[in-house]
Structure 1
């Protein structure tokens, strides 16, 4: 990588391809693959990631909200896009942009069918979400008859898939619960097939599900965090490559005397002579206050430097005592050499949160 002069998030598409091929190796050749690119592709660059997935012949993309799908269509993305959490106000743009909505409640189903009828659609593709234990979104098993009743005799839309979501696929202590979810979904799928008179394709597995429950891959799997280099398991992480690397630079170095304080509220007080550095990155960039006060470290020239004091809106301060560095030197926040999972874990959170938190004002550089 070229020398940087500001906070920069590097996005490595070759790492993305590596992760995709690793995950594909865990499923049958005929199983479809859905790449989750919601939340700006987990905080990276949604368009670049989506284009790469399209070039790798992924079968589907998924976004959370309609506006994310519209952005991808406007960027020229052609492959099917599932909208996981649509709202009725957005049904028009979903239809106009050939996005495929997840219908997850009686209200959402009725309102989409009304919109489809008004527009005189024919066999517009929809996906039916079932709740098998996560208790976020989805119809219940007992709603199958209602769904059939609403769809019967109508051709404005067609159910092309049914799906659900495992609640604890990464937790081997919850294996019994996950197996129950899978069994419930299998029962639902049989009922749906009987009622509809045809078999929509099915999908239930997320990244950890692909690894831990391959017998439940059905006709498609979905992967988000795994594509970006994290598998919720140290052994899996070792096989993946982080797509995002966040770096910044040292703005200024200070020599701190004993009993001096650093930052707001004097949250850090020196017990002796220390050397500190200020970095142009703060909670407005996604590095929250929970990472301050000596909980988390960054890396300079391969050496660990603790974040000290309270994280500011635009700056963090680190202890560089004993580290050979100077103003303008690069600082690694997270990446392949020091993972986002480790960085997040030091503040008792997860890689998903720090990855998706990196704000749009941080420069993005996409590499292939």
Structure 2
């Protein structure tokens, strides 16, 4: 990959395909694979990610909101797309773009049926979302008879799939709770298929679930963070490759005398002569203030340089006193040589937040074969 000449987010589609094939190898050949590409493809480029994965023959995509699904359709995605959190106001456009909604409440179900009827649809596919313990969205087991009555009284929509969301599949201390969720979901699925009288596509596992609970893969699995190179477990991370690398350059170097401060609010005061490098990115680019004041490091010429003082809106300063470097040299914020898990962990947050928070003003550079 080329040396950076500005702040860029490099996206390695070869790494993406590697991760997909690895995760695919952890499930049965007949199990469907849903790739989660919400939030700009976890902060990368959803259209490029989806087009690559469609060529790699994933079975499904998932997005959070309708506009994300529409963007994929306009980019040429033809396989099924599940919208995880559809809003009533967007039901018409959802149907017009052949997206599949996750229906999680009676009010949402009733409105979607009305919209599908108004558009003259017949057996339009929906997924039913059940709450098994995350307590965020979803029907309960007790709702099944009412759901069945509502859906059987019309022909505009048809239940295609049933799903739930596990809360702690990456946490080995929560195995008992995860198994409780899986047992609840099994009971819901059995009751639903008995009521509807046909087989539903059942999906509940996320990335960590694929790794830790393979017996619960059912008909389809969903993977988000794993596709982008992070498996919530150091042993799994070793088999994955980070897809994105955030790079920038040294814009200017300064020699700071002892007793001088650096940055806003004088949060860093040098105890000895210090050489700093200013980098052209900041909290407007997704590198929040929590990473400043020595909490976090970047990589310059193979060495770690701590961030000093407060992170600014468009700039950060790092200590390069012990590093041989010049203005214009490349700086790795995170990526293959400095994982997002390591960078984010210094500020007590997670790779998901770091990746999805990278600003859209940063140019994306795509690498693929």
What TM-score comes out, normalization by structure 1 length? 0.99
Question: How far 1:246 sits from its partner (Å)?
Answer: 0.5
Is 1:25 equivalent to 2:25 in the alignment? Answer: yes
1:353 corresponding residue in structure 2: 353
Counterpart of 1:204 in structure 2 is: 204
* Structure 2 CA distance for aligned equivalents of residues 279 and 245 of structure 1: 16
SS in 2 for 1:305: strand
What CA distance in whole angstroms lies between the structure 1 residues aligned with 2:313 and 2:21? 39
C-alpha deviation, 1:243, in angstroms: 0.1
Q: Which residue in the other structure is 1:183 paired with?
A: 183
Q: How far did 1:306 drift?
A: 0.2
Provide the secondary structure at the position in 2 that maps to 1:170. coil
Residue matched to 1:249:
249
1:320 equivalent to 2:325? Answer no
Please list every run of 5 or more consecutive structure 2 residues that lacks an aligned counterpart in the other structure. none
Count of residue pairs the alignment pairs up: 368
CA RMSD of aligned residues (A): 0.6
Please give the secondary structure, in 2, of the residue aligned with 1:98.
coil
Which residue of the partner structure matches residue 194 of structure 2?
A: 194
Mapped partners of 2:131, 2:267: distance in 1: 45
Distance in 1 separating the partners of 2:241 and 2:306: 25
Question: Partner residue of 1:101?
Answer: 101
Deviations 1:3-53 (A, max 9, x none): 221100000000000000100111000000000000000000000000011
**In 2: Cα distance, 1:365 partner to 1:146 partner:** 50
- Point out 4+ residue stretches in structure 1 off by more than 2 angstroms: none
DSSP-derived class of the 1:227 partner: helix
For the residue of structure 2 that corresponds to 1:231, the secondary structure is coil
Q: Work out the CA distance in 2 between the residues paired with 1:142 and 1:256.
A: 67
SS in 1 for 2:11: strand
Query: Distance between the aligned counterparts of 1:203 and 1:359, measured in 2?
Result: 32
Q: Which residue of 2 aligns with 1:262?
A: 262
Q: State the SS of the aligned residue for 1:221.
A: strand
Alignment of 1:71-82 (within 5 A): 71-82=71-82
1:135 partnered with 2:96: no
Query: Which secondary structure state, in structure 2, belongs to the residue aligned with residue 294 of structure 1?
Result: coil
Q: 1:153, CA displacement in angstroms? A: 2.9
Mapped to 2, the partners of 1:33 and 1:307 lie a distance apart of 40
**Cross-structure match for 1:68:** 68
Using the alignment, how far apart are the partners of 2:322 and 2:179 within structure 1?
52
Hey, what's the Cα distance between the residues in 1 that align with 2:301 and 2:158?
57
